[in-house]
Amino acid sequence: MNTFDTVADLRAQVKQWRSDGLRVGFVPTMGNLHDGHFALVDLARQHADRVVASIFVNPTQFGPNEDYALYPRTPDGDITGLAGHGCDALLLPSVAEMYPFGTAGCVQMHVPGITDILCGRHRPGHFNGVATVVARLFNMVQPDVAVFGRKDYQQLQVVRYMASEMAFAVEVIPAPTLREPSGLAMSSRNRYLDASERTTADTIYRALQAMRDARRQGDPPGRIEGVGERMLLDAGFVVDYVEVLRADLSRPREGSEPGLIGFIAARLGRTRLIDNLDLQ
């Protein structure tokens, strides 16, 4: 695996691959990689001849009271893991390389509507930062396909909307959520959980399963959400939201609608966890 810290050098490599008729896949990450990330690389490999990953902790998607400075950075282990999963190239840029005019003076992206709900309501400006950095990365790497995990479902939808609206020549492929044996969705932020919190954290998945059971019984969305919220509150979580939405993130009229998804964001100690589950 070759590692590049400048866009120009990476583009030269991608240009060579394209001249050889090869298809390029892309997996953007913020590092601190785990098996869920490596599964994205494996999926990208199924759709491409060469796979590029990026590691960049993006400052523009962190709010003033969030954990940008504390976000875990493990480049040595990340590089070893990516190489072990057959990644062909890694883009490891500096903030200056990504934002040559600084983060305050950068051109920003905004996806209307779906960025104002769920995590967007609780983290103002977060998805502007996500859309901004992903647009830059798509332009820098110019992949044929890019893989994003379904655990961050709202992010996936924001990227899909942005890529379609801006006519990026990239196919956005969703990857299933990878889970711990307990059902806890794999996340870099799981490292913040102490032993007791980690035991409690799987309540999120059990709450989503209970919501699915309520949906199968024909309960309306409000009652389904109440089932999940009660379980989380009883377990000691501070709940940001428990919501039932359609796949396009619009609000359903009744619980018996097909294609509904349950969404949860809740805090356990200092750790904010998110998850979602198809309620079919």
- 242-263 tens-digit pLDDT: 999 999 999 998 877 899 999 9
What would the pLDDT profile of 79-126 be if each residue is shown by its tens digit?
999 999 999 999 999 999 999 999 999 999 999 999 999 999 999 999
pTM: 0.95
For residues 105 and 15, state if they share a domain. Answer: yes
Q: What percent of the chain has pLDDT over 90?
A: 93
Q: Are 54 and 30 in contact (CB under 8 A)?
A: no
Domain containing residue 256: CATH number: 3.30.1300.10
d(CA 134, CA 144): 14
For residues 24 and 152, state if they share a domain. Answer: yes
Domain containing residue 75: CATH number: 3.40.50.620
Average pLDDT over residues 182-206: 95
For tokens 């990365």, the residue is 137
pLDDT over 90 (residue 151):
yes
Host domain of residue 235: 188-278
Last-in-domain residue among 175, 206, 231 = 175
Is 37 a residue of the active site? yes
pLDDT over 80 (residue 47):
yes
Can you name the residues that pair with 89 across neighbouring β-strands?
2, 52
Average pLDDT over residues 142-155: 98
Q: Judge whether 247 lies within some domain.
A: yes
Q: Judge whether 134 lies within some domain.
A: yes
Q: Are 78 and 55 in contact (CB under 8 A)?
A: yes
For residues 76 and 154, state if they share a domain. Answer: yes
Q: Are 264 and 276 in contact (CB under 8 A)?
A: yes
CB neighbour class for 116 (10 Å; exposed up to 12, middle 13-18, buried from 19): exposed
d(CA 217, CA 227): 12
For residues 31 and 63, state if they share a domain. Answer: yes
Q: Which two tokens stand for residue 257?
A: 């609608």
pLDDT over 80 (residue 268):
yes
Closest CA to 49 of 143, 171, 147, 140: 143
Last-in-domain residue among 141, 175, 209 = 175
For residues 118 and 255, state if they share a domain. Answer: no
pLDDT over 80 (residue 131):
yes
pLDDT, residue 70, reads: 83
Q: pLDDT tier at 63 (50, 70, 90 boundaries)?
A: confident
Q: Judge whether 165 lies within some domain.
A: yes
CB neighbour class for 95 (10 Å; exposed up to 12, middle 13-18, buried from 19): middle
What would the pLDDT profile of 5-21 be if each residue is shown by its tens digit?
999 999 999 999 999 99
pLDDT, residue 149, reads: 97
Q: Judge whether 183 lies within some domain.
A: no
For residues 101 and 129, state if they share a domain. Answer: yes
Q: Judge whether 13 lies within some domain.
A: yes
For tokens 């990340």, the residue is 78
The catalytically annotated residue of 34, 37, 85, 126 is 37
d(CA 6, CA 276): 36
Closest CA to 245 of 229, 269, 221, 226: 221
For residues 12 and 106, state if they share a domain. Answer: yes
pLDDT, residue 255, reads: 76
Q: Which helix (H) or strand (E) holds 174?
A: strand 171-175
Number of compact structural domains in the chain = 2
For residues 122 and 195, state if they share a domain. Answer: no
For tokens 């009660």, the residue is 230
Read off φ and ψ for residue 144, nearest 5 degrees: -80, -35
pLDDT over 90 (residue 208):
yes
